[in-house]
Chains A and B, each alone.
Chain A
Amino acid sequence: MIRIENLSKRFGKLQVLKQIHFTCNQGECIALIGPNGCGKTTLIKSILGLVVPDTGEMYFNNNKMNAQWSYRSKIGYMPQIGRYPDNMSIGQLFTMMKDLRKHEQHILDESLIKTFGIDNMLNKRMNTLSGGTRQKVSAALAFLFNADVLILDEPTAGLDPLSSEQLKEKIIEEKAKGKLILITSHILSELDEVVSHIMYMQEGELIFYKDIGTLQNETAETKLSKMIAKKMIENKQYA
């Protein structure tokens, strides 16, 4: 569904992405993990077209992404820190987003709006919201258009345990529908029940991209965090 070939990006002197190469398919739920500053967010932003890569090709359903934009209608994106126009209220934001994409054929998925209780605070202005509420709004927006691909950047950061759980359930539900889901997170334990694949990045390089089963076999661990830790030590030895 998404194919990345030889993707490289540098910000000034810093090489953020080095020759990234992978293909991911429908029905996968990928955890994109790695230490801070390893290039996770840049990779996601490249896929979304927010960052323009220096070299490399990206394909969405075998169509080139570069300088295209219509593929983004198939992606729901939840940013790490949701930033929205200050002067707008939540209600206006949702109305605007729906209005802007009115011409597309969607079945709107407003379930998260209800689960998070956002419909009770539609009149609140964006600049008065707490970090958590912002995250809720971001999540609700990402799922709103029922996109085939969901990209969630640190989805549970700042959410209270209940909402966090609700979001996880929603992710599982969507995965069951056969969607491709890409999640980045630091908190590995949270992803245990959700992910099917692990993508591990370090210093701009994609170290490995494997499904959980294979990893379990390789590391003889069942816990995700343990698996990763083992792999990381392995990796250091190589280096």
Chain B
Amino acid sequence: MHKIIKYVVIDIIRNRIVLGYTFFLLLISLSVFSLEDNTAKGLLTLLNLILFIVPLVSVIFSTIYTYNSAEFVELLLSQPLQRKTIWLSLFSGLASSLCTAFLVGAGIPILLYETSLTGIMLVLCGMLLTAIFVSIAMLAAVYTRDKAKGIGVAILLWIYFALVFDGLILFLLFQFSDYPVEKPLMMLSFLNPIDLTRILILLRLDISALMGYTGAVFKMFMGSSVGLILSFVSLCLWTMIPLILSVRKFNRKDL
């Protein structure tokens, strides 16, 4: 398996897009930290960028790459290799190279300027988000035969997680504004990895004081070690479940 991963990673590096992504992140994070005199504020700005860019780049790049490596996958499939191995190698190759890009581009500056638990958490969350959206992209790619359609589906999924989901939450909050919504709201936030990451990091920053009673309820739960572990477990599940689904589909797919 590690050999296939090696070839996937070599291929991605040769692609140069990931290299560009790394430099882009590096440029942004360095300029954010040097422009903001307050590192907490820098972290906040960077959080917004990470929540926007990381899922978008991960999902689009991975979808396109999965389609483009159809030949490679076909070649491998006629070799004595398990389908699962091939698919998981593709995932690992993609996830590890994009995570490395994130770690170099954003992780190192964050850890240099903000060596705190919050900084480490942000880096960790960014890497998990990368893996999650690689996994979602591969699920979209394995279910749609047509490349253009597959990329469309991937972008729609990103829009759903980045925008539509929050719109739905807003709608629900308007509908149930007279009820205590904190607990259901908390459960809902576990259904969107972007929201979960955003809330996890926000609660660790000073800004959480602005979040009022709801923020306090969230903080009580997610600030506790149980809540923290649960949040990270759910982020891991967000990687695992689409991946498992895509492996199952890929095992039965005709090429």
Contacts and interface: CB of A to CB of B under 8 A. Distances in A.
B72 A100 contact: no
Contact of A51 (B71, B81, B254): B254
Interface stretch (B7-15, B32-40, B200-208, B216-224): B7-15
Among B15, B77, B251, max chain A CB count under 10 A is at: B77
Interface in B219-255: 251-255
Contact of B254 (A45, A77, A79, A96): A45
B14 A69 contact: no
Contacts of B83: 49, 69
Interface string A90-111: 0000001101110010000000
Contacts of B82: 69
A11 B254 contact: yes
Nearest to A51: B254
Nearest to B4: A100
A143 to B, nearest CB: 13
Nearest to A126: B71
Given A70-B80, A72-B79, A97-B79, A85 B71 contact: yes
Given A45-B254, A51-B254, A96-B7, A83 B79 contact: no
A36 interface: no
A88 B80 CA distance: 21
Contact of B70 (A79, A83, A88): A83
Please classify the interface of chain B as helix (H, G, I), strand (E, B), loop, or mixed, using the class held by over half of its residues: helix
A72 B71 contact: no
Given A83-B71, A83-B74, A85-B69, A100 B254 contact: no
Contacts of A79: 74, 78
Nearest to B84: A69
A215 interface: no
A14 B206 CA distance: 62
Given A45-B255, A52-B253, A52-B254, A83 B75 contact: yes
Interface residues of B, number: 26
Contacts of B72: 84-85
A104 B80 CA distance: 10
Contact of A50 (B3, B81, B254): B254
Contact of B81 (A83, A84, A100): A100
The CB with the most chain B CB atoms within 10 A, among A50, A70, A75, A104, is that of: A50
Nearest to B86: A69
A50 B255 contact: yes
A49 B71 contact: no
A73 interface: yes
B15 A48 contact: no
Contacts of B79: 72-73, 97, 100-101
Contact of B252 (A52, A72, A84, A88): A52
Given A69-B82, A72-B78, A97-B79, A87 B14 contact: yes
A100 B71 contact: no
A71 interface: yes
A24 B202 CA distance: 67
B7 A77 contact: no
Nearest to A100: B3
Contact of B11 (A71, A72, A87, A104): A87
B80 A72 contact: yes
B74 A50 contact: yes
12 contacts: A45-B255, A49-B77, A50-B78, A72-B79, A77-B78, A84-B75, A85-B11, A85-B72, A97-B79, A99-B3, A100-B79, A104-B80
Interface of B: 3-4, 7, 11, 14-15, 68-72, 74-83, 251-255
Given A49-B77, A79-B74, A83-B74, 6 more contacts: A69-B82, A70-B80, A72-B80, A84-B72, A86-B68, A87-B14
